[in-house]
Every structure is written in structure tokens, then in C-alpha cells.
């Protein structure tokens, strides 16, 4: 009797190992299909966006913001806040990338959900678009025209090159 239980446990372990391997293969194939795993990003004061696995010097880290992709929040990179009042991060109600040959890209919903504590004083639109393209795995051309509506209701058109 004990002999049969031992054989059963061997087969159960093999089945479990096989299932685990199949799940790993599926995750790998899916990750290849949908792109790299999402991650947090640093928004540097000079307008660049870098992943958080890059080690930054202390003086650059003090002036950078950390974007948490899970919560869609910006915080100071040196002192990440998880509590407190998170306000709208940018003074825009609508941001649309106008493309002449293809359909326009509307970032308005994402921009509306973006929150910050403290709110950045000057977040360049180009940096915002770059961050959005990294998070959504979408290509954005090097030069484009942005049509925005700011919080005062004014329409603005900005060409980024």
C-alpha cells in the first residue's frame, strides 16, 4: 500500500513540475508579445526619463521625480510619499498627439488620472509624452504636434522636435 502512495507522489511531483514549466513558458511568450514588464521611472530635471533600475547620484536624485506605474503617481524621488493628498500632476485637461499620416494619440484620460505629491513646478510635455510611451509600449515619433487644453480652458498647440 505504501508503495502505491510513493508512486503516486512521484507522478504528482512530475505533473506539478510540468505545469509550472508550462506556466513559465506561457509567461515568457506573453511577455514577448506584449513587451517588457512595466516598471517605475525617474523623471529627471533635465527632461530625461530613466527606469528605476538605474542608480542615480544623490544630487540628481534630489531633483528627480519617481513615477509609480501601479498607482499612476509622481513623488519626489528622494522622499517617496505613500500617504497624503495627491493632486493632479499637470495643468492640462487634454493632451493629444496630432499625427498627419495615422490616427491621433489621445493621452487625456491618462493625464487626467496622473497624480502627484508634491506637484512638479514644470513638467515638460515632451517628458510627459516619453513617459506615456514607455508605460504603454507605444511608439511616438521624434517630432510631433501636441494640442492641449490647459486647466483654464485655453487651447495650445506645441510642436516638439
Which helix (H) or strand (E) is 145 found in, with range?
A: strand 144-150
Report d(CA 140, CA 106) in Å as an integer: 12
pLDDT of residue 151: 84
- Does the bond joining 118 to the residue before it have cis omega, within 30 degrees of 0? yes
Per-residue confidence (pLDDT) for residue 88, from 0 to 100:
84
Query: Can you name the residues that pair with 68 across neighbouring β-strands?
Result: 73
* pLDDT in the model for residue 105: 92
What's the pLDDT score for residue 131?
93
Question: What is the predicted pLDDT for the residue at 48?
Answer: 93
Q: Tell me, what's the pLDDT at 153?
A: 87
Phi, psi at residue 44, to the nearest 5°? -85, 155
Domain edges within the chain: 1-35, 41-160
pLDDT confidence of residue 4: 58
User: Could you say which residues of the chain have pLDDT below 50?
Assistant: none
Q: What is the pLDDT of residue 107?
A: 92
Amino acid at each position: 500500500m505504501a508503495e502505491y502512495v510513493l508512486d503516486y507522489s512521484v507522478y504528482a511531483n512530475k505533473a506539478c513540475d510540468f505545469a509550472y514549466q508550462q506556466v513559465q513558458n506561457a509567461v515568457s511568450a506573453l511577455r514577448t508579445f506584449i513587451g517588457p514588464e512595466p516598471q517605475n521611472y525617474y523623471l529627471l530635471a533635465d527632461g530625461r526619463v530613466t527606469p528605476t533600475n538605474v542608480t542615480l547620484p544623490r544630487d540628481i536624485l534630489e531633483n528627480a521625480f519617481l513615477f509609480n506605474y501601479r498607482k499612476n503617481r509622481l513623488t519626489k524621488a528622494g522622499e517617496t510619499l505613500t500617504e497624503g493628498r495627491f493632486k493632479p500632476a499637470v495643468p492640462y485637461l487634454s493632451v493629444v498627439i496630432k499625427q498627419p499620416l495615422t490616427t491621433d494619440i489621445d493621452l487625456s484620460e491618462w493625464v487626467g488620472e496622473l497624480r502627484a505629491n508634491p506637484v512638479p513646478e514644470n513638467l515638460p510635455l515632451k517628458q510627459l509624452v516619453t513617459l506615456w510611451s514607455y508605460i504603454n509600449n507605444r511608439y511616438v515619433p521624434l517630432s510631433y504636434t501636441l494640442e492641449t487644453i490647459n486647466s483654464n480652458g485655453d487651447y495650445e498647440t506645441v510642436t516638439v522636435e
